[in-house]
């Protein structure tokens, strides 16, 4: 089987040949275009991606890409930069905390240059609530400081109570988008020691209250990122399904309190589904990660697969109505461990059978709860 390092070179060559070609054979529920449709007048596009887990091998690659002078994470994200940078607002999920200059200690930390790499790629805000948020003591404070310096907004963790109560607001064309972030915690996902306000934990009533507060603060669209799910399970678990149902059912004055739910944490891609008229991504998978091992201790390539969700919003048809998602897309991607690069599988698919199989596997999972009938498109 051809290695991924060689696949990258093949993919680049194939792109030149494919530029003049037009794909006319599509599977049901998939899209023919790799480019976003023009947004509706006065609307905007939002993209969101999965867990960024810069393990030791990823950090080593960033050091190599920097030529021995610090770390440069931008090259490994260059393959998805066109998708991210063209969106009006782009959201990521940073699961690891920043360690300062202490490379590799402990395993759940990463250099602060990752924040600069994400910002340079075009990301506007990162959710930071996860079970690793309080790893290494007060590292989460260094994480937020590094993100501030890079101009990358953040939500889900806080340095003080005032920051914890603030409403993160992003500009997306003519709209204001609130980005909220929460994580499950407990026996299976323990948090380190820290103040209660340091990390937003999943609580249905609190999440709804926060969404309503964001709306009162002027948010046109409320996006909720949730770190949840059972690791290595393709299907959403009962906790995910129940919380998704309850959050999307919540309304104020006939308008949903939450407009989009983005899930991370399971380490594998999971389904997209429209629940009570609101899109839910149960799991986007790992966008950047080193070698991943499942619960049986076996190397599992699914841990390097993910999707980028791309949503086109149109303004309300009447005052007081919601901003509607008029186009929903899932863009399959894989992190090539040999090359240290995130690959957009819609663009790199000519690279070989292994990449094609990964794309098909991701597509099957994404569409497993009937998203195709609600109009979800898969980049081809």
Distance CA 288, CA 304 (A): 7
Q: Please identify which residue in the block is written with the tokens 């980005």.
A: 179
3-state secondary structure at position 112: coil
Q: Is the pTM of this model over 0.75?
A: yes
Q: How far apart are the first and last CA of the chain?
A: 22
Identify the pLDDT of residue 97.
55
Instruction: Give ∠ CA 244-282-211 in degrees, rounded to 5.
Output: 45
CA distances from 63 to 56, 58, 66, 113 (A): 10, 9, 5, 10
Identify the pLDDT of residue 110.
73
Distance CA 130, CA 203 (A): 14
Nearest to 118 by CA among 59, 173, 77, 69: 77
Identify the pLDDT of residue 21.
37
> Does residue 8 contact residue 339 with C-beta atoms inside 8 Å?
yes
Identify the pLDDT of residue 142.
85
Distance from CA of residue 116 to its chain's centroid? 17
Distance CA 251, CA 267 (A): 31
Identify the pLDDT of residue 1.
36
Find the helix or strand (DSSP H, E) in which 90 lies: strand 89-94
Nearest to 172 by CA among 42, 32, 310: 42
Phi-psi sector, 2: left (phi>0), alpha (psi -120 to 50), beta:
beta
Below-70 pLDDT ranges, the chain: 1-41, 96-109, 135-138, 186-194, 347-351, 380
Distance CA 38, CA 257 (A): 27
Pick the CATH number of 39-378 from 3.60.21.10, 3.40.366.30, 3.30.70.1900, 2.60.120.10: 3.60.21.10
Largest CA distance in the chain: 57
Distance from CA of residue 294 to its chain's centroid? 20
Identify the pLDDT of residue 14.
37
For residue 334, what are its two tokens? 């894989």
Cβ within 8 Å of residue 177, ≥6 positions away: 46, 89, 169, 170, 171, 219, 220, 221, 222, 223
CA distances from 205 to 8, 26, 113, 190, 201 (A): 46, 42, 36, 21, 11
> Does residue 352 contact residue 10 with C-beta atoms inside 8 Å?
yes
Distance CA 166, CA 277 (A): 28
Distance CA 195, CA 317 (A): 43
């Amino acid at each position: 089987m051809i290695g991924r390092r060689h696949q990258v070179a093949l993919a680049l060559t194939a792109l030149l040949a494919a530029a003049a070609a037009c794909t006319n054979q599509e599977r049901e529920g998939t899209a023919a275009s790799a480019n976003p449709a023009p947004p509706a007048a006065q609307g905007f596009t939002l993209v969101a991606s999965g867990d960024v887990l810069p393990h030791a091998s990823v950090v080593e690659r960033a050091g190599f890409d920097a030529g021995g002078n610090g770390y440069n994470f931008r090259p490994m994200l260059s393959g998805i930069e066109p998708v991210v940078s063209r969106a009006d607002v782009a959201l990521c999920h940073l699961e690891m905390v920043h360690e300062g200059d202490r490379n590799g200690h402990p395993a759940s930390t990463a250099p602060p240059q990752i924040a600069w790499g994400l910002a340079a790629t075009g990301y506007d805000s990162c959710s930071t609530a996860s079970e690793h948020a309080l790893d290494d003591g007060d590292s989460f404070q260094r994480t937020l400081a590094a993100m501030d310096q890079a101009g990358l907004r953040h939500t889900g963790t806080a340095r003080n109570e005032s920051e914890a109560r603030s409403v993160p607001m992003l500009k997306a064309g003519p709209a204001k988008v609130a980005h909220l972030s929460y994580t499950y915690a407990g026996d299976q996902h323990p948090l380190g020691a820290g103040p209660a306000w340091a990390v937003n934990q999943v609580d249905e009533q609190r999440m709804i209250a926060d969404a309503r507060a964001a709306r009162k603060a002027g948010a046109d669209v409320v996006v909720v990122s949730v770190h949840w799910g059972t690791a290595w399970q393709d299907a959403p678990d009962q906790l995910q399904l129940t919380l998704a149902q309850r959050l999307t059912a919540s309304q104020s004055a006939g308008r949903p309190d939450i407009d989009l739910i983005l899930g991370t944490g399971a380490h594998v891609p999971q389904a997209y589904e429209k629940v009570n008229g609101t899109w839910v991504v149960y799991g986007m998978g790992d966008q950047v990660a080193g070698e991943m091992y499942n619960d049986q201790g076996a190397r599992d390539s699914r841990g390097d697969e993910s999707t980028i969700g791309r949503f086109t919003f149109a303004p309300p048809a009447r005052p007081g109505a919601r901003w509607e998602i008029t186009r929903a897309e899932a863009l399959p991607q894989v992190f090539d461990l040999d090359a240290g690069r995130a690959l957009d599988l819609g663009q790199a698919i000519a690279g070989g059978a292994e990449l094609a199989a990964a794309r098909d596997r991701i597509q099957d999972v994404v569409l497993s709860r009937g998203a195709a009938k609600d109009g979800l498109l898969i980049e081809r």
